[in-house]
Structure 1
């Protein structure tokens, strides 16, 4: 198994604090989430997390208008310069003071950072190499309170700064004789924002009490650089005053919490503490629209370059919304879990993820895009467990403290079954479901019992009693051999109980035969979690002491133990701790464990910032994944100040505690912490961890959200370079194996121009640059695809080509038929080799299992073919590439199934349209035939010949030719009728 898991995405948390910004092209939205940044691609409906790894929560982010550069400032004043082409942090500049506002100049040459009562102007780093990336140009003073907003004029010569002292000041970047600094006063309350009009020095300012002032001047931006000393100084005058009025004509009583301005459209966008959003045109202050976006204060606002989309964020519930004001439609509506997440589970196909949290909600996430598909809010208390049946990807189950276990249908997105205990109210703390999805088990928190239901009928089948403490976890045996149904339950009473549920399937109407105890295993401490290996022949349990115990349920023996207490690390949980960090670390423990698909590795996590990956056969730690370095959370800092710890036990501190002038939290409590204190920090914690069924990724629910780690060749997610003209996967993970000096993009394009398609394709695949591979593939004629597909090595097909085709067919390209042709040719040429290597991989895995069971390899009893097969395992078993290849094949199959569904729907639509047009044509033909019959019965044949409005097909020629006198009489009669 490959161990090079890398952080790939963070979802479950849409927004936390700070400001949000749109990308330059207007299709991407950047949202700070703790010490990371989520990037939402609104065009592709995807998201990815930019791993900044700041030591504190981010408060301000701003984008350069000319370069692919992002500036992120955390709450301690550290400025991180990030390249959006590679996603790497270029430099960190410590300002050692909180920053209250940040803004790039329109020409991209300067950046203004508001620090306290002053504004610092820096040169923006360029493409050339330099030692100091942020070079200070000037510092502007004069405010009596913190500066909260900075806005630039369209020519980047002036900037406007608004302060909490109810004033705004206009500063010049360079020293101008006509304007050095100009103070605009008149507001009675702190200023929220001030903005320049495009191409003018006129500006508008907004205060928190809802007053809007418009300031005008007769000067233009081009006349500021005049050196004539006789020219008067620039003067601003207050021309108009406005106040916000709601749609019913009443003044808005709530305060202004956020404001932004679109200079081109001259549109002022204002958010209020009540969650109301209003749009006005300036300087007339005409109301365009208003909408109630949230029920809580709007924390931040932004607008894209075209002015069509407005982004809004709310800190209270972590809500993020993109509103298209022209059509009055919410284009994006993302909402985080209001509380901490408690559990997660992968779908059997590895495409979706389900999470549950303290906010009583169950959310279904699409892993490829990081977006929530649906949210279920039927529970009335915290959700304690979620699960997918192993053989059913369209069914989700969840347990809650409200005493219900609910079953959801992911086809119709509804709760179609609710399971309860009919005799009494029970709080469920754990959940498990068998592989077919026919039986579900729930563990009680207060009655110390486990309950078994039938999902099909909703009938309570059995009550499993015997535990003397709350049941902490449940797990069904995989039942590979089909021998029976076995359930494992662990409890705080230091026991593991194995239950035989085979009687449930034989006699469902006889409760006496349901749920007999097979075995009771006692341990020295409380058991917190349990997990079965994939073959059902081994159980892993984590204890309160931090140990992981492996147990054989068939033989009834303990196979080994991993002592993981030291792997959890040491960290300070709170400044109010009465014990040393070393002593506090002894109380840390694992609370969740998960086996890999092959059963060779085990993930464990709990009261720590680390996720530990262990080797099961060797009982050793292979790797630790640090999920965060955000010291805004408790339990992260590893370096401690001994003087701060001793200060708690000084004479003054003891006297204060004796006089009850300070409060201490109850030990080992999280929800009971006094949150009315001025400073309260959540503690880092991992509540659940799971491997993906495909083996190429794993996910964990943490304090900051759901973190996903995946292999380099998994092919999930997208890069940031697509927003700035670069490749979607460029420079994120680069494998230099097989690359020589001639393998360059220029040589690939040159070979393509010379007609050497095979050479160009080989260079592009070896470089693994998505844009280059796409360019080369789409330039190859259709009649050459079959030939070139056979020339690609099978290893490159498994490592890159299949993931690339899965991405292209997943919605990245419009040339669906072209890439389907490539997929067919690749699978025809290499499908048999891939199947043989997969079979070889399975044979080697079986041989390794037998070797571990016997603790010796009896090579004499094997044939020559067996020796050759085991000694030549094939490339797919090297470093476990088969897991990544299998995951890519699953994604490719899903993409093809979606295309098939869309094609069938298109054909059905065309067929329905054809049937509709055919019925309309038949109806018109019937109406015409009816009209023809009525006309033929009322008109004479000779009249029909002279009437030009009657169709020629309805005219029947006369049988007998009349005489001239007869024709004249008929004409006279007809003329008489027409005259009448």
Structure 2
């Protein structure tokens, strides 16, 4: 099994804090998610996460006007400059202070950074590999100028359209106008008059006016005018307030604003979840709508001014709204609380997550979007399982119910309850879909229900502690349960007697899983051990000491080092790989461990996050952050805030799993669930950061196979040209095509493989398949599955699939365990095509029925009747005469 998994995408969380940003073409939206950046492609309906990761949460990001440089800054002022189009990190930089605002100039030559009350202007680094870039720079960040004048933190920066002037707004109730370079006759100007902090200030399109917006909902319009005052002999030219307008929103504070100068549109967001869209300078209210139950933290326009993006950090909401059609382009929201479990669908296309907020979300792995949310549970959802057949999902909850969901119609069609009120914490579903089992902390019995009738069939007694883990064998013959009474029990649900075989463990059981062939059980216990048991002989095969592997990371309240804290670490979730050769294990740690089952060795260790905003990611603590009152990060400083809503803390004392988006307390890094995809090409981890996907299929990884010096892209293309040219000898042509195909697979460049693959004639497919080496068969099947999913050549791909199954059917059957991921991927794409063809056929059938039943006018029918009676000569009855428009006097009649 290949183990070179790379971080692929981040789901489950769409927005944490900071500013949102549209790409220059207006088709993509960039959102800071913790210490990473997620890009939402609004046109192609996909999302991906950039490979960069900060040491703390990102608070500011901006793109240069060309769209190739992305600058991101975290809470400590550390910046990363990234080539956005190629997704490559270029430079690292520290601004040595908290950054509150960041903005590139329209010319792209400079960018402005607000560090407290200081405004710094920097030269934009050149991009290596471009015409303007040239060689790498020794000092890419060059400070152009530093400006001071504000008495409090700067909150917003705006540039003039010609990149000559900068407009800043501050908490000191003023806005200031600066110049990039010395201008003749210009002096820095202060715009004062607001009674609360100025949230934003903007230049009008003609740069003759300035708009300033304050936190109390006041909008001032400034103009550079000459006006004679009472004590002046001559008129003085300066910026003056020409108009005052006010947003009346009761006690709600103005939280954010955005201005689109070409269309003179201003949008403002309030702390009560409302936003208002206004047309300036007349101050006409176009819309006032509620988009969130919490305050709106950021709002922005795209380049054309048609789309508005809203972000709410408390609820983790991200919205893109088209104001002209009043419709949502994007509406996404992550879980409000900690993730508890996850499961892949049978085809691997969807991931289902459940959390403490009582919600169940279904995520599309290809697009990265949440496609449906179930909210019927009234308490935390603790576990979720998919049935092997059909699109049925089962979930258990602390509200005392187990629910079954139809993922075709998206509805809850069955609810299972116990005679007494229990909170269910573990769940298992029979592969045939006939029975569902659940365990509870409140009862030591395992409850078994019939899926068809919804009735409670049995209560399996035997455990002397809470049942925390359940798993069915792949053939449904056995059920294994793990309990805090330090035992595993194997049950035969469909046997004549409901006896169980107890397996004694050394400590409390935390998680269990069946190997896909049903012959082995893996169990993790509280002492950090991983135990492997033979099902048929009921003996322990082997064990792995995992405490040292899972230990790592130190909480800021820890009084001992991370190395000495291994006694408290253990694996809370384990999962077998698709072929059963490896085991994935994770727990309350920043590490995910991948073990080889046969040798018991640690194959690879994955670091979940390096975000130090989370507790448990640091190996060493800084002694400077330790005060007499305890760690500095745990001291609640909200009482010093100026606003009442910022001082109110509704979390319970000592709560560590509260509102993760609010960040009142430091959330602890941990992995609550892991699962391999059915294809074995990726795995998911439910973490504090969100839903992390690690995949082998990344476009940026070069992974050659049996490569030598003679195999290059040029040599492969030359071989392909020889095959096309040698049309005289059929055997020579087939050999050349096969040689080119094998060379392309050895180089393993997907575009090159596709070029050779699509150049082969459909008549040569059986001969090529018959001669392909078996060492390349798994790679070839995987490639055809991806090609069938991504290209429109349906019949061509089906011919390849038919030839492979016909020629190599015996080999595929004998080695179905090793080739299971490839065969599942092939089955998935074929099922998708079958469903799409079925929908297309049904739609065409409806179109044909409509066309056949479409009525015609009676006057046109009369023409046909006259032509048939020969009262009108046939030569005069032309197509032109039949296509003459009706005069509107005829009646509608159906076709006979």
Q: TM-score range by the shorter chain?
A: 0.7 to 0.9
How far is 1:162 from its partner? Answer: 0.8
Which has the higher mean CA deviation after the structures are superposed, 234-243 or 792-801?
A: 792-801
Please list the CA deviations of residues 756-799 of structure 1 after superposition, one character each: whole Å capped at 9, or x if unmatched: 89999979888777778889989x7xx95655897699589867
How far is 1:102 from its partner? Answer: 0.5
The structure-2 alpha-carbon separation of the partners of 1:164 and 1:6, relative to structure 1 and needing over 3 Å to count, comes to same
Q: Which residue of 2 aligns with 1:694?
A: 679
* Equivalent in 239, 244, 247 of residue 242 of structure 2: 239
Please list the CA deviations of residues 414-446 of structure 1 after superposition, one character each: whole Å capped at 9, or x if unmatched: 10000001x311110111111011110010111
Q: Which residue of 2 aligns with 1:915?
A: 852
Question: Is 1:12 aligned to 2:20, yes or no?
Answer: no
Q: Which residue of 2 aligns with 1:944?
A: none
Q: Which residue of 2 aligns with 1:614?
A: 595
Q: How does 1:646-795 map to 2 (within 5 A)?
A: 671=656, 680-712=665-697, 729=699, 731=700, 733=702, 735=704, 743=712, 784=761, 786=763
Please list the CA deviations of residues 693-724 of structure 1 after superposition, one character each: whole Å capped at 9, or x if unmatched: 111111111111111111136xxxxxxxxxxx
| Equivalent-residue separation in structure 1 for 2:661 and 2:18 (angstroms) | 22
Please list the CA deviations of residues 501-544 of structure 1 after superposition, one character each: whole Å capped at 9, or x if unmatched: 124xxxxxxxxx6x723212222211111111112111111110
* Equivalent in 391, 394, 400 of residue 403 of structure 1: 400
Question: Is 1:594 aligned to 2:575, yes or no?
Answer: yes
Please list the CA deviations of residues 821-865 of structure 1 after superposition, one character each: whole Å capped at 9, or x if unmatched: 4313433555545545534534xx6xxxxxxxxxxxxxxxxxxxx
User: Could you list the runs of 5+ residues in structure 1 that have no partner in the other structure?
Assistant: 220-231, 246-250, 504-512, 654-667, 714-728, 846-876, 933-948, 954-980
The structure-2 alpha-carbon separation of the partners of 1:825 and 1:263, relative to structure 1 and needing over 3 Å to count, comes to farther
| Equivalent-residue separation in structure 1 for 2:281 and 2:752 (angstroms) | 49
Please list the CA deviations of residues 7-48 of structure 1 after superposition, one character each: whole Å capped at 9, or x if unmatched: 111101111111111112211111111111111111121111
* Equivalent in 419, 424, 429 of residue 416 of structure 2: 419
Higher percent of residues as strand = 2
Q: SS where residue 585 of structure 1 aligns?
A: helix
Q: SS where residue 632 of structure 1 aligns?
A: coil
C-alpha contact (below 8 Å) 2:121/2:144 kept by paired residues: yes
How far is 1:243 from its partner? Answer: 1.0
Q: Which residue of 2 aligns with 1:328?
A: 326
| Equivalent-residue separation in structure 2 for 1:789 and 1:174 (angstroms) | 71
* Equivalent in 292, 295, 298 of residue 297 of structure 1: 295
How far is 1:893 from its partner? Answer: 1.8
How far is 1:570 from its partner? Answer: 2.7
The structure-2 alpha-carbon separation of the partners of 1:826 and 1:499, relative to structure 1 and needing over 3 Å to count, comes to closer
Q: Which residue of 2 aligns with 1:130?
A: 137
| Equivalent-residue separation in structure 2 for 1:678 and 1:892 (angstroms) | 42
Q: Which residue of 2 aligns with 1:203?
A: 210
Q: SS where residue 165 of structure 1 aligns?
A: coil
Q: Which residue of 1 aligns with 2:120?
A: 120
The structure-2 alpha-carbon separation of the partners of 1:418 and 1:517, relative to structure 1 and needing over 3 Å to count, comes to same
Which has the higher mean CA deviation after the structures are superposed, 366-375 or 744-753?
A: 744-753
The structure-2 alpha-carbon separation of the partners of 1:586 and 1:201, relative to structure 1 and needing over 3 Å to count, comes to farther
| Equivalent-residue separation in structure 1 for 2:486 and 2:846 (angstroms) | 62
Give the RMSD, CA atoms, in angstroms.
3.7
C-alpha contact (below 8 Å) 2:76/2:96 kept by paired residues: yes
C-alpha contact (below 8 Å) 1:387/1:431 kept by paired residues: yes
Question: Is 1:543 aligned to 2:525, yes or no?
Answer: yes
The structure-2 alpha-carbon separation of the partners of 1:681 and 1:741, relative to structure 1 and needing over 3 Å to count, comes to farther
Q: Which residue of 1 aligns with 2:615?
A: 634
How far is 1:476 from its partner? Answer: 1.6
The structure-2 alpha-carbon separation of the partners of 1:886 and 1:123, relative to structure 1 and needing over 3 Å to count, comes to farther
The structure-2 alpha-carbon separation of the partners of 1:461 and 1:34, relative to structure 1 and needing over 3 Å to count, comes to same
The structure-2 alpha-carbon separation of the partners of 1:733 and 1:707, relative to structure 1 and needing over 3 Å to count, comes to farther
| Equivalent-residue separation in structure 1 for 2:560 and 2:186 (angstroms) | 60
Q: Which residue of 1 aligns with 2:354?
A: 356
Task: Using structure 2 for the length normalisation, give the TM-score.
Answer: 0.84
Q: Which residue of 1 aligns with 2:796?
A: 822
| Equivalent-residue separation in structure 1 for 2:222 and 2:149 (angstroms) | 20
* Equivalent in 513, 516, 527 of residue 531 of structure 1: 513
Question: Is 1:841 aligned to 2:833, yes or no?
Answer: no
Q: Which residue of 2 aligns with 1:74?
A: 74
The structure-2 alpha-carbon separation of the partners of 1:533 and 1:674, relative to structure 1 and needing over 3 Å to count, comes to closer
The structure-2 alpha-carbon separation of the partners of 1:286 and 1:733, relative to structure 1 and needing over 3 Å to count, comes to farther
| Equivalent-residue separation in structure 2 for 1:267 and 1:533 (angstroms) | 60
Q: SS where residue 849 of structure 2 aligns?
A: helix
Q: How does 1:49-448 map to 2 (within 5 A)?
A: 49-126=49-126, 127-128=133-134, 129-217=136-224, 235-245=238-248, 252-392=250-390, 394-421=391-418, 423-448=419-444
| Equivalent-residue separation in structure 1 for 2:573 and 2:772 (angstroms) | 38
Q: SS where residue 217 of structure 1 aligns?
A: strand
C-alpha contact (below 8 Å) 2:313/2:661 kept by paired residues: no
How far is 1:929 from its partner? Answer: 11
| Equivalent-residue separation in structure 2 for 1:445 and 1:884 (angstroms) | 36
| Equivalent-residue separation in structure 1 for 2:611 and 2:368 (angstroms) | 22
C-alpha contact (below 8 Å) 1:611/1:624 kept by paired residues: yes
Which has the higher mean CA deviation after the structures are superposed, 1-10 or 258-267?
A: 258-267
Q: Which residue of 2 aligns with 1:899?
A: 836
Question: Is 1:498 aligned to 2:490, yes or no?
Answer: yes
C-alpha contact (below 8 Å) 1:312/1:320 kept by paired residues: yes
The structure-2 alpha-carbon separation of the partners of 1:912 and 1:494, relative to structure 1 and needing over 3 Å to count, comes to same
Q: SS where residue 99 of structure 2 aligns?
A: coil
Q: How does 1:580-591 map to 2 (within 5 A)?
A: 580-591=561-572
How far is 1:895 from its partner? Answer: 4.1
The structure-2 alpha-carbon separation of the partners of 1:901 and 1:42, relative to structure 1 and needing over 3 Å to count, comes to farther
The structure-2 alpha-carbon separation of the partners of 1:767 and 1:191, relative to structure 1 and needing over 3 Å to count, comes to farther
Q: How many residue pairs are counted as aligned between the two chains?
A: 823
Q: SS where residue 103 of structure 1 aligns?
A: strand
| Equivalent-residue separation in structure 2 for 1:298 and 1:210 (angstroms) | 14
Q: Which residue of 1 aligns with 2:823?
A: 886
How far is 1:809 from its partner? Answer: 5.8
C-alpha contact (below 8 Å) 1:547/1:565 kept by paired residues: yes
User: Could you list the runs of 5+ residues in structure 2 that have no partner in the other structure?
Assistant: 127-132, 227-234, 635-652, 727-735, 868-885, 891-896
C-alpha contact (below 8 Å) 1:178/1:234 kept by paired residues: no
C-alpha contact (below 8 Å) 1:768/1:800 kept by paired residues: no
Q: SS where residue 540 of structure 1 aligns?
A: strand
C-alpha contact (below 8 Å) 1:786/1:825 kept by paired residues: no
C-alpha contact (below 8 Å) 2:337/2:658 kept by paired residues: no
| Equivalent-residue separation in structure 2 for 1:344 and 1:257 (angstroms) | 35
How far is 1:910 from its partner? Answer: 2.1
Q: SS where residue 262 of structure 2 aligns?
A: coil
Q: Which residue of 2 aligns with 1:468?
A: 464
| Equivalent-residue separation in structure 2 for 1:747 and 1:448 (angstroms) | 65
How far is 1:681 from its partner? Answer: 0.6
C-alpha contact (below 8 Å) 1:695/1:887 kept by paired residues: no
The structure-2 alpha-carbon separation of the partners of 1:891 and 1:93, relative to structure 1 and needing over 3 Å to count, comes to farther
The structure-2 alpha-carbon separation of the partners of 1:631 and 1:837, relative to structure 1 and needing over 3 Å to count, comes to farther
How far is 1:734 from its partner? Answer: 6.0
Which has the higher mean CA deviation after the structures are superposed, 907-916 or 487-496?
A: 907-916
How far is 1:912 from its partner? Answer: 2.4
| Equivalent-residue separation in structure 1 for 2:887 and 2:333 (angstroms) | 67
How far is 1:751 from its partner? Answer: 9.4
C-alpha contact (below 8 Å) 2:36/2:52 kept by paired residues: yes
C-alpha contact (below 8 Å) 1:487/1:501 kept by paired residues: yes
| Equivalent-residue separation in structure 1 for 2:751 and 2:207 (angstroms) | 42
